């Protein structure tokens, strides 16, 4: 965990790259890449679609979420 600025406040957030999580992952606490993830209150939080320079997406999740089906 690491302090991050969020909505004008400094809050504790998971450090490192973001992971994508699907419905099953929300129950299991696992990202698409099977990394364990810290689940956050969805009322306070949503995953950015593509990350940014401060919030890079895990490349495995990025590949999995952007692969053609
Ligand atoms: Zn990931």
- The residue extents of the domains of the chain are 2-37+46-66
Q: What is the pLDDT at residue 57?
A: 74
Residue 37 Cα to ligand 1 midpoint, Å, equals 9
Q: What is the pLDDT at residue 18?
A: 76
Helix H segments across the chain? Answer: 23-28, 59-66
Q: Whole-angstrom Cα distance, residue 19 to residue 40?
A: 12
Residue 30 Cα to ligand 1 midpoint, Å, equals 9
Q: Whole-angstrom Cα distance, residue 21 to residue 29?
A: 8
Instruction: State yes or no: pLDDT of 3 exceeds 60.
Output: yes
Give the tens place of pLDDT for each residue, 56-69.
678 888 888 876 66
Q: What is the pLDDT at residue 60?
A: 86
Residue 47 Cα to ligand 1 midpoint, Å, equals 12
Distance of CA 12 to the CA centre of its chain: 14
Give the tens place of pLDDT for each residue, 15-50.
667 787 878 887 888 888 888 877 655 555 555 555
Phi, psi of 5 (to 5 degrees): -80, 130
Could you list the beta-strand ranges (E) of 1-69: 2-6, 9-13
């Amino acid at each position: 965990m690491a302090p991050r600025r969020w909505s004008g406040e400094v809050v504790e957030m998971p450090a490192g790259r973001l992971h994508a999580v699907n419905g099953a992952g929300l129950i299991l606490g696992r990202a698409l890449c099977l990394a364990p993830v810290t689940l956050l209150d969805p009322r306070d939080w949503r995953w950015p679609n593509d990350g940014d320079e401060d919030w890079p997406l895990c490349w495995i999740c990025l590949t999995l979420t952007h692969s053609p089906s």
